[in-house]
Chain A
Amino acid sequence: MIYARFDLAYLSFALHVDMQLPARGITVLFGPSGSGKTTLLRCIAGLERTASGLLRVHDEVWQDGAKFMPVHRRRLGYVFQEASLFPHLSVRRNLEYGLQRIPAAERKVQLEQVVEWLGLSKLIDRKDPDGLSGGERQRIAIGRALLTSPRLLLMDEPVSALDAASKQEILPYLERLHSELDIPVIYVSHALDEVVRLADHLVLLEQGRVIASGALNDTLSRLDLPTAHLDDAGTVIAAKVGMHDEDYHLTRLDFPGGSLWVSKVEREDGSMVRARVLARDVSIAMTAPKDSSISNILTARIVGMQDEGPDKVNVRMTLGDEHVLLARITRRSRDQLGLAEGMDVFAQVKSVVLTA
């Protein structure tokens, strides 16, 4: 468990945070720019010093009243927005910089492992890090941070400075990190597509305050939060690759509460994927449509509704016990169908985006 309480006031900005985060998986700090996500991350790292604060990571106290553990004593890894490689060191020396500074007994992550995980074998013998692409540099920076065998990995928008191609190059590595390394990660982002791809736990920040903190879907499906108003509001369904329909080139994803047909996924049967369903891609029917081109029809129960603008309404539905779905429909449809909380309906899912 990570417990953090910080109070910080600058002339134009204040941060007041009191939160508990799970000590495993990826926690994403999400919010618009200026909401204090980066400042909060810097406070956790000790790069920003608050007069009053309390920070406990696992069983260690990093900050408490007058006690302030200096940054270099905190067993953390930090990945900045720009790779910040040391220009005077070769790629290998960059990777080894932190590794050499931790006691041998603490070295849980080996250089060979990191090189393999992050695909660095072609880069490690390069002399000048300045000549590498943004994506390559950031991979090295991530590897360098991992090699300190951190007990907590902090990432400040690690892909936001990269072009789309480099971003797509990095994200699979981060997902892999997620599944293969047991290091809790706190990840700052303002991009919803990164959130749905990576987050297990989501913390929403606004003007220096935490407005929500909870499991990814619990938070994403809350109708009272700003995330519900986003154009690409929606939820994420963790599903298992079930069966393939080779004729039509489709794959069925199974989850407790239903299944979804998607374009064929080149993944092994039984592997887990994240399916993102946007609220605007979900429509509602009172009877099971038999003559629709939409093949994904799920039985759902309405558990909440909230108006969205003058003409729309967001509908929150449960699929079985575990999963939730958002639908954004018109107010007129709601009234014509007479939708109300507690009703069992059919949710038609027009499209599904696989994020991982």
Chain B
Amino acid sequence: MESAFTTADLSAIWLTIKLSTVVTVILLLVGTPIAWWLARTRCWWKGPVGAVVALPIVLPPTVIGFYLLVAMGPGGPLGQLTQSLGLGLLPFSFAGLVVASVFYSLPFVVQPLQNAFESIPERALETAATLRASALDTFFSVALPLAKPGLLTATVLGFAHTVGEFGVVLMIGGNIPDQTRVVSVQIYDHVEAMEYAQAHWLSAAMVVFSFVALLLLYTFNPSGKRK
């Protein structure tokens, strides 16, 4: 064994990091308002929306992947939208993988944020209002800083969960080098080709990455500490 990773492995690692970063950023932007709404609303929609957001936790990735494939295909609503915008079709492209991953990892970002927002006392927000802070101002100057532990959890979980996905990637992305072939798929390829040594290197790297990510989360996250 001359080197730990082949060029294809490195390309898969790079693609995985790129995908996870893009997805995490989008998830934080999309998930934060959803989590805020879920945490504060008394509207009856709260239940159904919360359930839809949580669906990827219980559904097999193949089911999500299948429906996303249909939706993003030429006959699906997403597919027609992207075509009419001149973007072509999403399946089997990096962009398609991003969209699918956002859906798939959404609960891992929304739920920690929602919990964090729910634990902010109403009094803190009322106090800010009596000190002339508008709702938006209060959100950025009080709610978000107080939800920092939840924000950190959401970021790490969103990123790590995207790194670890396999089923949805296979359904939506296929296995195109530099486009959609992420680490988990690359490991599958190695195993299929009986390249166990290569599979080991990548798998061990994943284990180490996941362990370190979770370790950082549990060590540095103040929410885990008793006050």
Chain A residues within 8 Å of B, Cβ to Cβ: 45, 47, 70-73, 76-78, 80, 82, 84, 86-88, 97-98, 101-102, 144-145, 148
A271-B106 Cα distance, complex, nearest whole Å: 68
CB of A86 within 8 A of CB of B142, answer yes
A245-B128 Cα distance, complex, nearest whole Å: 52
Given contacts A45-B130, A84-B127, 11 further A-B contacts (CB under 8 A): A72-B128, A72-B129, A72-B133, A82-B123, A84-B123, A88-B148, A97-B128, A98-B130, A101-B132, A101-B137, A148-B131
Our pick among A47, A73, A101, A145 for the contact of B126 (Cβ within 8 Å) is A47
Which residue of chain B has the shortest Cβ distance to A81 in the bound complex? B123
| Size of interface on B: residues with Cβ below 8 Å to A | 19
CB of A76 within 8 A of CB of B130, answer yes
With contact pairs A82-B123, A87-B146 given, residues A98 and B132 touching in the complex (Cβ less than 8 Å): yes
Which residue of chain B has the shortest Cβ distance to A77 in the bound complex? B130
CB of A80 within 8 A of CB of B132, answer no
Q: Which residues of A contact B132 (CB under 8 A)?
A: 72-73, 98, 101-102, 148
Q: Which residues of B contact A76 (CB under 8 A)?
A: 130
A97-B128 Cα distance, complex, nearest whole Å: 8
Our pick among B127, B134, B137, B148 for the contact of A86 (Cβ within 8 Å) is B127
6 inter-chain pairs at a CB distance below 8 angstroms, sorted by A residue, are A47-B126, A47-B129, A70-B134, A86-B146, A97-B128, A97-B141
Which residue of chain B has the shortest Cβ distance to A89 in the bound complex? B145
A76-B121 Cα distance, complex, nearest whole Å: 21
Q: Which of B99-131 contact A (CB under 8 A)?
A: 121, 123-124, 126-131
Q: Which residues of B contact A88 (CB under 8 A)?
A: 142, 145-146, 148
Task: Determine which residue in B121, B127, B132, B148 has the highest number of CB atoms from chain A within 10 A of its CB, and name it.
Answer: B132
Which residue of chain B has the shortest Cβ distance to A106 in the bound complex? B132
A145-B129 Cα distance, complex, nearest whole Å: 11
Q: Which residues of A contact B146 (CB under 8 A)?
A: 86-88
Chain B residues within 8 Å of A, Cβ to Cβ: 121, 123-124, 126-135, 137, 141-142, 145-146, 148
User: How close is A142's CB to chain B, nearest CB, in angstroms?
Assistant: 13
Our pick among B124, B133, B134 for the contact of A84 (Cβ within 8 Å) is B124
Which residue of chain B has the shortest Cβ distance to A141 in the bound complex? B127
Task: Determine which residue in B131, B137, B148 has the highest number of CB atoms from chain A within 10 A of its CB, and name it.
Answer: B131
Q: Which residues of A contact B141 (CB under 8 A)?
A: 97
A80-B130 Cα distance, complex, nearest whole Å: 10
Which residue of chain A has the shortest Cβ distance to B122 in the bound complex? A47
Our pick among A82, A87, A145 for the contact of B130 (Cβ within 8 Å) is A145
CB of B133 within 8 A of CB of A80, answer no
CB of B131 within 8 A of CB of A98, answer yes
Q: Which residues of A contact B127 (CB under 8 A)?
A: 78, 80, 84, 86
With contact pairs A86-B142, A87-B146, A101-B137 given, residues A80 and B123 touching in the complex (Cβ less than 8 Å): yes
Q: Which residues of A contact B137 (CB under 8 A)?
A: 72, 101
CB of B133 within 8 A of CB of A101, answer yes
With contact pairs A84-B123, A87-B146 given, residues A101 and B130 touching in the complex (Cβ less than 8 Å): no
Q: Which residues of A contact B123 (CB under 8 A)?
A: 80, 82, 84
Q: Which residues of A contact B131 (CB under 8 A)?
A: 72, 97-98, 101, 144-145, 148
Q: Which residues of A contact B134 (CB under 8 A)?
A: 70, 72
Our pick among B121, B124, B129, B142 for the contact of A71 (Cβ within 8 Å) is B129
A155-B156 Cα distance, complex, nearest whole Å: 42
A86-B121 Cα distance, complex, nearest whole Å: 11
The 8 closest A-B pairs by CB, nearest first: A98-B131, A78-B130, A101-B132, A71-B129, A88-B145, A84-B127, A72-B129, A72-B132
User: How close is B56's CB to chain A, nearest CB, in angstroms?
Assistant: 32
